[in-house]
Amino acid sequence: MDNENTVIQSIIEAARKLMQQYGFSKTTMEDIAKAAGKGKSTLYHHFKNKEEIIDEVLGQEMDSFFREVKQAVDQEKSLHAKLKTYIVVKIQSIRHRVNLYRFAMETDASTLEINTQFRRLRTRYDQQEANLILSVLTLGIAEGTLHHQSEADLAMLTELLVTCVRGVEMDIIMYNKHNTLPDKADLLVGVLVKGLS
């Protein structure tokens, strides 16, 4: 039982490394098997097909991704610091996962099922993130940095903030522009906080 998990985990581990480096479609079952030190057909003993491996890799990765971000944000005290940390750490975490992250886009008409599952994963993650940011903004209000807002407005602001940060993510993913990151994070937080206050 413990062994079962070890084997499965070692396959996922191998898959994750390869997929991080080469992307999902370029990572073949053969590659994964070889990297895990197993026979190709052994993979099919533990997973129904490639899709199931991808799902597992993505699920684990997103969870650990969120944990990293949350932990870093939790350690900061002020609204400003928390928001900046959120942006910076999120981006840094993404940089190690660019290829996995790109997956969201590898979507074609024919891959609908993959995406269905992916969307589920993604939704779970987004929910967690929204909660995190919401609590940060609530703290900003308690702190006095932000005005008091209606619940609906807070939800909207949360969404807006996440949306803007997603723009920064994209700069990273698409252009590898991360040199100016801390400055841009500062500016973004400054503008948003001022704009929202």
| 28 contact choice in DNA, a copy of itself, none (CB below 5 to 8 Å, kind-dependent) | DNA
Q: Which of residues 26-45 bind a copy of itself (CB under 8 A)?
A: 26
Cα 190 to Cα 81, 105, 142, 157, 184, distances in angstroms: 11, 31, 18, 15, 10
Is the Cβ of residue 44 or residue 125 nearer to DNA in the bound state? 44
d(CA 164, CA 174): 15
- Spatial CB neighbours of 149, under 8 Å, sequence gap ≥ 6: 137, 141, 157
Which position among 12, 16, 19, 50 is part of the footprint of DNA (CB under 7 A)? 50
User: 3-class SS at 38?
Assistant: coil
Which position among 2, 4, 105, 179 is part of the footprint of a copy of itself (CB under 8 A)? 105
Q: Which stretch binds a copy of itself (CB under 8 A): 72-80, 88-96, 129-137, 181-189?
A: 181-189
For residue 192, the minimal CB distance to a copy of itself (Å) is 6
If one asks whether residue 106 binds a copy of itself (CB under 8 A), the answer comes out as yes
Query: Hey, what are 154's tokens?
Result: 């807070």
Is the Cβ of residue 23 or residue 159 nearer to DNA in the bound state? 23
Is the Cβ of residue 42 or residue 135 nearer to DNA in the bound state? 42
CB-based burial label for 100 (10 Å; 0-12, 13-18, 19+):
buried
Is the Cβ of residue 24 or residue 66 nearer to DNA in the bound state? 24
Cα 166 to Cα 39, 50, 75, 162, 169, distances in angstroms: 40, 28, 22, 6, 5
The closest alpha carbon to 119, from 101, 140, 104, 109, belongs to 104
d(CA 83, CA 76): 9
If one asks whether residue 23 binds a copy of itself (CB under 8 A), the answer comes out as yes
Which position among 23, 44, 141, 155 is part of the footprint of DNA (CB under 7 A)? 44
For residue 122, the minimal CB distance to a copy of itself (Å) is 7
Contact 60, 33 (CB under 8 A): no
Is the Cβ of residue 30 or residue 153 nearer to DNA in the bound state? 30
If one asks whether residue 130 binds a copy of itself (CB under 8 A), the answer comes out as no
Where do contacts with DNA occur on this chain (CB under 7 A)? 1, 3-4, 7, 25-30, 33, 38-42, 44-46, 49-51
